[in-house]
Amino acid sequence: MFKQWIPTSLLLITLCLLLMPLAGFSDYLIRLLAIIFLWVGKASCWNILSGMTGHIDFGAVGYYGIGSYTTALLMSKADVPFFFAILVSGLVSSLIALPIGLPTLRLKGAYFGIATLAFAEAMKQIVLEFDKTAGVRFFEGPHGITLPIGPRNEFFYYVGFGVMVVVMATAYGVRRSKLGYALRAIREAEQAAELAGVDTLRAKVKAYMISAFFLGLIGGIETYWLTYITPHMVFDVLITIQMVVMSLLGGMGTVFGPVMGASFLTILYEVLHRDFPYTYTILVGFIIVVVVLLMPKGIVGTLRKR
């Protein structure tokens, strides 16, 4: 009975959100919501691969970072307009995801987790060493890049909202498509899926590349907003961890799960980080421990309950 109200309520919420900046809400709130939108986007990206297939990716931030640097370079050194730059960032991330995904997605369980983590850390190190190795000179100081000052928070509010909607729509679309059936089958029983004709490697790589595209795109957006990035900022494993926890909390493999998880963690961060900078991270760790221990079958239990 409630189901028929969903589209209408979604529309109403969307309308409200779209109008909020114009209604004179505080800049702080606009900024907070924009951050939430972008986190929902990131967590949803992660969900497209890991939530749906059960292969937990610990290197997602690698693509975020690649996208960040791509946009930073394009905009600061080549004067490429923003919207074009982020699209290119997405594409670059996606293309890199192919040769990385093909070998790693064959690995099982924790080995996949380790390999992806190694990938993300390697990317960080490579960017850190890039100028010395390749003899290029575009980093300042600690390999940071500065971008020209951009528009106000409202701009990122709308861009963030737009991206969030696109990512969620993509997640929804994937879920209902042929690919979605393949991914869900892979999560439940990968070998049975193979035997039923599912090209499991191909399906996983597709999801991986889609996820990487949007992560790169979002990386580009946030770079423009931050206006200054360093490898440690954009290749930070904590970004991946937060994506993981947001999806875990909200419900892996669902479309709206990340919304809950992202909102909760972002607000938690806002509350804590000024006065208790490390408490947030400790709490994130604690949440992970609690979630894992309370689920009878660990993460798999959460996966099952959806």
What sign does the dihedral 278-65-264-22 (CA atoms) show? Answer: positive
Q: How is residue 287 written in tokens?
A: 């949440």
Helices 82-104 and 200-226 cross at an angle (nearest 10°) of 140
The contact mask relative to another protein for 241-280 (x = CB under 8 A, - = no) is x--x---------------------------------xx-
Using only C-alpha atoms, the chain has a radius of gyration, in whole angstroms, of 19
Q: How is residue 93 written in tokens?
A: 């991330």
Site for another protein (CB under 8 A): which residue of 193, 210, 215, 243? 193
Site for another protein (CB under 8 A): which residue of 20, 165, 166, 237? 237
Q: Is 195 in the site for another protein (CB under 8 A)?
A: yes
- Choose one: 39-47, 85-93, 255-263, 282-290; the region binding another protein (CB under 8 A): 282-290
Tell me, what DSSP letter sits at residue 140? B
CB of 84 to another protein, least distance (A): 30
| Amino acid identity, position 272 | L
57: enclosing H helix or E strand = none
Q: Is 138 in the site for another protein (CB under 8 A)?
A: no
Q: Is 26 in the site for another protein (CB under 8 A)?
A: no
CB 297 within 8 A of CB 257: no
Distance CA 50, CA 31 (A): 28
3-state secondary structure of 136: coil
Residue closer to another protein, measured from CB, 141 or 148: 141
Count the Cβ atoms, other than its own, within 10 Å of residue 72. Answer: 27
CA-closest candidate to residue 83, choices 151, 16, 144: 151
**Count residues contacting another protein (CB under 8 A)?**
64
CA-closest candidate to residue 224, choices 43, 63, 59, 38: 38
Distance CA 193, CA 200 (A): 7
Site for another protein (CB under 8 A): which residue of 6, 125, 140, 267? 125
Distance CA 306, CA 293 (A): 17
Residue closer to another protein, measured from CB, 163 or 243: 243
Enumerate residues 77-116 that contact another protein by CB under 8 A.
103-104, 106-111, 113-115
Site for another protein (CB under 8 A): which residue of 8, 197, 274, 275? 197
The contact mask relative to another protein for 31-60 (x = CB under 8 A, - = no) is -------------------------x----
Residue closer to another protein, measured from CB, 180 or 220: 180
CB of 175 to another protein, least distance (A): 12
| Amino acid identity, position 219 | G
Q: Is 129 in the site for another protein (CB under 8 A)?
A: yes
> What is the contact surface with another protein in residues (CB under 8 A)?
56, 103-104, 106-111, 113-115, 117-119, 121-122, 125-126, 128-129, 132-133, 177-178, 181-182, 184-185, 187-189, 191-200, 237, 241, 244, 278-279, 281-282, 284-289, 292-293, 297-300, 303-304, 306
